[in-house]
Structure 1
């Protein structure tokens, strides 16, 4: 009888820990709008990473600040600005690269899903010591 009680207790303990071990990462894929409303970005899977490209611009323009002169005449629409984001140890956060078309530079970047409809994006310099970011709102 004692072994049955121990087995029941172990079974109950296993059930209590089950939800913790089956927690799934939040879904950052979808369409997001910048807070100023100037653009929308579609975040999608690209292999084992997340990537994001510009899908809408209030004022369409070319990639004039790109350091590669051959790309300065290309339209910004369709350009991948969120690149190779891989999960970090922090829940709902990914790290990769962020291309800033306003200055033509690529930064170490982080995206973090802060709620189901809010995605914080940061671009960092000096190994992440100085970061600047904004929070995007899900549109789809």
Structure 2
């Protein structure tokens, strides 16, 4: 009886995957924002990801920044995304919007190999979502 039980347990263990829990997909790369006007480079950052604007149209100044000393800077090179926490099928953290100068609780998750859903929320209730497209 004991050997039958041991064989049953071994057979069950052999059929289980050898990896741990599934992690969120890797969003690292260059992304075109939904409006098609800016590009954001997402890179590994701690246990999650950070995103920095690498191109934007026109002068692209950070005129809405709450810090008056930063309102004259160009948004190219500004980190707008900090998502250090794995959150289900994506990552969560904060998202800075240079269009209004506000920082929101944010999240990102791949919805396809070339589609990234980026969400910014106020009080976790009022959210705006955009789909960014991977640049090859």
TM-score normalised by L of structure 2? 0.88
Counterpart check, 1:25 vs 2:24: yes
Equivalent residue for 1:64?
63
Report 1:7-46 matches (<5 A). Answer: 7-18=6-17, 21=20, 23-46=22-45
Q: Tell me which protein shows more helix as a share of its residues.
A: 1
Report 1:1-140 matches (<5 A). Answer: 2-18=1-17, 21=20, 23-88=22-87, 90=88, 92-126=89-123, 128-140=124-136
Taking the aligned partners of 2:105 and 2:24, their CA distance within structure 1 comes to: 22
Change (3 A) 1:54 1:19: same
Displacement, 1:4? 4.4
| Gap regions ≥5 residues in structure 1 | none
| Gap regions ≥5 residues in structure 2 | none
Moved over 2 A (4+): 2-9, 19-25
Kept after mapping to 1: 8 A contact 2:83/2:107: no
Change (3 A) 1:129 1:95: same
Change (3 A) 1:11 1:60: farther
CA RMSD in angstroms, aligned pairs only: 1.9
Q: Deviations over 1:87-123 (max 9, x none)?
A: 12x2x22111100000000011111111222110111
